[in-house]
Structure 1
Amino acid sequence: MQVSKDGRDWRIGAAADVGWIAGHTTAGVSITTAIPPVFDAYATTYQADDVTAAAYEQALVEDLITHTPDQPWWLAYLDTGAHDVVFPRAPRVSLYWDWPYVLVEAGPEQALTWRTGGHMRHGRGALPDLFFPADRSWLVSALWDDAWACIGGPAPVIHTLERDPVANARQIRPDEDALPPGLTRE
């Protein structure tokens, strides 16, 4: 299926496009609750209080772009009933605990601009709730009730994010609690 936006058609994803994630995460507090245990390195990231949503999201996406060959990205928006899913009439795919996501094949520019109604993390920002490149070399996922995002990918991607003070990332082990220092669970 395709949907139109910005004067062009975009492919809507199906269960097969996220099959490598669905059923491959584990319930709990570790990063593997959001990210399948298939990557070399893992980190958490969140917007610091002294950084704008736009600056944080731009830094995160730019860091990911530097390690990603030119290719489409899959953008997934969690349908909570209260947050912008960009394509409200598009079919959903189920992830995690049968949560419904709108999955669209687009790119980094759309990841930064499509969502206008905010998301769960502080109600501001444009980033999708889950996104990854077509080659699945990394994955960013923010679960419904988390104020941070989890990332899995090659070690150079994680190290780049760690070195970027605006991206505010911290490397963690797959079995470690994903909660960043200073934040609390709701």
Structure 2
Amino acid sequence: MQVDKDGRDWRVGAAADVGWIAGHTTAGVSITTAIPPVFDAYATTYQTDDVTAAAYEHALVENLSMQTADQSWWLAYLDTGAHDVVFPHAPRVFLYWNWPYVLVEAGPEQALTWRIGGHIRHAHGALPDLFFPADRSWLVSALWDDTWTCIGGPAPLIHTLERDPMANARQVRPGEDALPPGLTRE
């Protein structure tokens, strides 16, 4: 199936496109609750109070883009009933605890511009709730009830994010609690 936006047709994803995630995470408080244990390194990141949502999200996407070969990205928007899913009539794929996501093949530009009206982490944020490149070399996922974002990928990508103060990333090990220092669980 395809959906139209910005004068283009975009491919809608299916369960097979996220099969490598579905059923491969573990319940709990570790990073593998959001990210399957298939990557070399993991990190959590969140927008600090002194950085705008736009600056934080641009830094994150720019770092991901610089570390990724030219290819499409899968963008997934969690359907909470209260947040923009960009394509409200598109079919859903189900991840984690059978949560419905709209999954569309696009790219970094669309990740930063498609969503209007914010998401569960930032009132003014645009990022999808889950996204990854076609080659699955990394995964960014923010769970419904978390105010931070989890990332899995190659170690050089995680180290790049750690060095960028705008990205505010902190490396974590797979069995470690993913909660960033200073934040609390709701």
Q: For this structure pair, what is the TM-score category when the shorter chain's length is used for normalisation?
A: over 0.9
Partner letter of residue 90 of structure 1? A
TM-score, normalised relative to structure 1? 0.99
Unaligned stretches of 5+ residues in structure 1: none
Residue number in structure 2 paired with 1:33:
33
User: 2:113 & 2:94 partners in 1: Cα distance?
Assistant: 24
User: 1:121 & 1:63 partners in 2: Cα distance?
Assistant: 20
TM-score, normalised relative to structure 2? 0.99
Residue number in structure 2 paired with 1:115:
115
Alpha-carbon distance, 1:117 to partner:
1.8
User: 1:38 & 1:54 partners in 2: Cα distance?
Assistant: 30
Alpha-carbon distance, 1:80 to partner:
0.2
User: 2:122 & 2:128 partners in 1: Cα distance?
Assistant: 14
Residue number in structure 1 paired with 2:49:
49
State the superposition RMSD in angstroms: 0.4
Partner letter of residue 2 of structure 1? Q
Q: Say if 2:147 is the partner of 1:147.
A: yes
Residue number in structure 1 paired with 2:2:
2
Residue number in structure 1 paired with 2:170:
170
User: 1:124 & 1:35 partners in 2: Cα distance?
Assistant: 25
Q: Secondary structure at the match of 1:115?
A: coil
Q: What number of residue pairs does the alignment pair up? A: 186
Please give the per-residue CA displacement for 1:57-92, whole angstroms capped at 9, x wherever unaligned.
Answer: 000000001110000000000000000000000000
Q: Percent identity?
A: 88
Alpha-carbon distance, 1:181 to partner:
0.2
User: 2:73 & 2:42 partners in 1: Cα distance?
Assistant: 19
